[in-house]
Amino acid sequence: MTANLARTERQALADLFDKLGPDVPTLCEGWDTGDLLAHLLVRERRIDASAGMFVKPLAGHLKSVTGQYRDRPWADQVALLRSGPPPWNPMGWGKLDELTNGSEFFIHHEDARRGVDGWEPRLLDDDVVAALTALVESSMMRMMVRRLPAGLTAQLPDGRSVVLKKPSGSDGTAASVVTVAGDPGEIVLWVAGRDACRVQLNGDESAVAAVVAARGGL
C-alpha cells in the first residue's frame, strides 16, 4: 500500500511546527519556521497573494498578506495548516492534492527538521518509502531536472536505476551522466536543491559540479 504523502506529511509537519515554534532556522535560506509556515498558508489560502512569488509587481501584496499570517497566534497558524486548504481550492481535491502537495510537504518537513545541526534522517514507514519511490520515478521529478547540463540517473537501494534525464548534445559535459544514489527521500531532497541530505554522487567531476550547481526547487 502506498501512503498519501500529502496527508501524512501535512500532519507530521503540523506536529513538528507545534513542537518547534516560529523561530527555528530552516534549510530555506533566510527563513525560520515562522516564515515557512506563513508561506505554506499563503500558498493554499491566498492565491491572489501567492502570485507574488512569480509576478514581481505583486511582491508587495505577497509580503503584506504573509505578514498578516505571521501576526496570528502560532497555534492558530498550525491549526490552519493541519486542517488543509479551504474547500474552494482544488489543491485539496483527491489526486490533485497528492500531485501538488505530496513533494511540497515532504520537502518542507525536512527543511524544518534539518535546519539545525544534529539532524538524522527519519525512519520512514514502508508505505511512505513506496510513495517517495513513486515520486522519484514520476514525470514531476523528470520535469524538475530537465534543464540540468548533464544526464542524471537515480540509483535506489533495491538496485534499480531510474533515468531522470538522458544525456544530450555533443560537448563533453552535456553528454555526461551523473548518478545520484541514496534512499528515495534523500534523492528527492537533493534534486530539490537541498544539500542537507545523504546521497552519493558519481560521474565526471566537472559534470557533477555543474549538476549540483544547477539543481532547482519546486
Q: How many domains does the chain have?
A: 2
Domain shared by 70 and 141, yes or no: no
Domain shared by 90 and 154, yes or no: no
Domain final residue, candidates 90, 113, 136: 113
Domain shared by 98 and 144, yes or no: no
- Whether residue 119 is contained in a domain is answered as no
Indicate if the pLDDT at residue 156 is higher than 90. yes
pLDDT at 217: 56
Which residue's entry shows cell 508587495? Answer: 60
Please provide the distance, in angstroms rounded to a whole number, between the alpha carbons at the two ends of the chain: 26
CATH of the domain at 186: 3.30.1050
**Percent of residues, the chain, with pLDDT higher than 90:** 70
Give the whole-angstrom CA distance, residue 11 versus residue 146: 31
Domain shared by 145 and 103, yes or no: no
pLDDT at 133: 96
Indicate if the pLDDT at residue 172 is higher than 80. no
Domain final residue, candidates 55, 85, 113: 113
For the stretch 25-65, pLDDT in tens is 999 999 999 999 999 999 998 888 777 778 888 888 888 98
Give the whole-angstrom CA distance, residue 213 versus residue 218: 16
Provide the 3-class DSSP secondary structure of residue 72: coil
pLDDT at 89: 74
Q: How confident is the model at residue 218 (pLDDT cuts 50, 70, 90)?
A: very low
Domain shared by 90 and 54, yes or no: yes
- Whether residue 120 is contained in a domain is answered as no
Mean pLDDT of 84-105: 81
Domain shared by 108 and 64, yes or no: yes
Model pTM score: 0.90
Burial class from Cβ neighbours inside 10 Å (0-12, 13-18, 19+) for residue 120 reads exposed
Q: Which three cell numbers stand for residue 30?
A: 533566510
Domain shared by 50 and 141, yes or no: no
pLDDT at 3: 61
Domain shared by 28 and 67, yes or no: yes
Domain shared by 92 and 132, yes or no: no
Of residues 90 and 139, more confidently modeled:
139
Domain shared by 151 and 73, yes or no: no
**Percent of residues, the chain, with pLDDT higher than 70:** 95
Domain shared by 84 and 27, yes or no: yes
pLDDT at 92: 72
Domain shared by 82 and 153, yes or no: no
165 bridge partner residues? 152
Domain extent for 47:
5-113
Domain final residue, candidates 62, 82, 113: 113
- Whether residue 118 is contained in a domain is answered as no
For the stretch 98-153, pLDDT in tens is 878 899 999 999 999 999 999 999 999 999 999 999 999 999 899 999 999 999 99
